[in-house]
Structure 1
Amino acid sequence: MSDLAAWVKAETGHAPADISLFERALTHSSRGGADYERLEFLGDRVLGVVIASWLYARFDKESEGQLSRRLNVLVSRETCAEVARNIGLAPRMRLGKQALEDGAGDSDNVLGDMIEALLGALYLEGGVAAAETFVRRQWESFVEEQRSAPKHPKSGLQEWAAANNRKPPEYRLVDRSGPHHAPRFIVEVQVRGAGEAQAEGTSKQEAETEAARLLLEKLG
């Protein structure tokens, strides 16, 4: 058994039949040839279904809105990247020279995408059972740590503004930098007459979310 096959089996519980499928799941487009992107497309959908069905059964008294808030956090780029780091995915990444120099090896975007690509490969070989085994093993602590359905910071900030007779929050893109595979966004959010905050993220949405969270903290 190859080193990669042994790692996949140890971390997912599935022994690869076609190791090239898993090599592809860990190959960045900067390497040329087949990369992880199609597998990531599939794995993203598999993750959503597995987590949604898990939450539906686990929190059987919660509304659709509460379940959606839980789901959004659990399938977020940040959570997926944390799972990738937890299983030691970064050293297995197959990156081109430029991507490596640009820091793709520690990018939440790339790590999150590759964990979904790995899930896509698991699904193709082992079906839903293999995918669900992996997700339940690696996401269990995240699910159980959600004592209540989390409120999205942007929703929370909008509610604060309404409750305090303010206009809705305004978001402004301050800067976008970095290469295509590892972009950085800086966003400013403002509630007129109350305060403002800036934050950085690997996507515009991530930066807006963090800026909203920081402003909520300021507003107390």
Structure 2
Amino acid sequence: MGRTGEHPRAAVGGVSVPDVRSWIDRFAELVHAERDRLTELDAAVGDADHGSNLDRGMKAAAAAAGELGDAAPGELLKKVGMTLVSTVGGASGPLYGTLFLRMGASLGEATDVDGPAFAAALRAGLVGVAARGKAEVGDKTLLDALTPAVDELDAVLAEGASLSEALGRASTAADAGRDATEPLVARKGRASYLGERSAGHQDPGATSVALLVAAAAQTL
């Protein structure tokens, strides 16, 4: 225990470089495990490549993060974002790349990242993805899972909860947002070409975002 009024780092919920690496590694593992499912979902509404593309990109991103050394968390996330942009085709590369690049920019060179700083970085990533995709909640995109997750993360942290607890509840919110995409009619992306036929299919992007938040809840 530290001085009076202080708390151990674990209680504060600080995020270190090893934590970020663990998050990226876990997300890569989950994407690999769910690759065929993501591709199956994308086959119904898109190009049937979301799983394979994201799996390839996250393998490369995890490797790049592992080679970066003792950079600050923000620099590591920027490296992940740049790797995804350069290795992933379709919409996944630019969108996930933007998410991590904006997170990295938000964190800057800080080496001590607490829960609110991490949440602010994730919010910056959300804003970047929304601008890049010109989408909003209800369009049947990854934002339908990411937005409620970020909102819940902010709300739970504001209650004084630890980052670990807040991320657990954010993961639950992401899962609910993912499931809520099934009856929606897509208004953005390739799925929008299907019109009413896009209803009845779970969005692959929202599904992979739920894995991203689950990975954070399991590791950070």
* Superposed pair shares fold, TM > 0.5: no
TM-score, normalised with respect to structure 2: 0.27
Greater length-normalized contact order (CA 8 Å, ≥ 6 residues apart)? 2
Q: Per residue, is there more helix in 1 or in 2?
A: 2
Which structure features the higher share of strand residues?
1
- TM-score, L = length of structure 1: 0.27
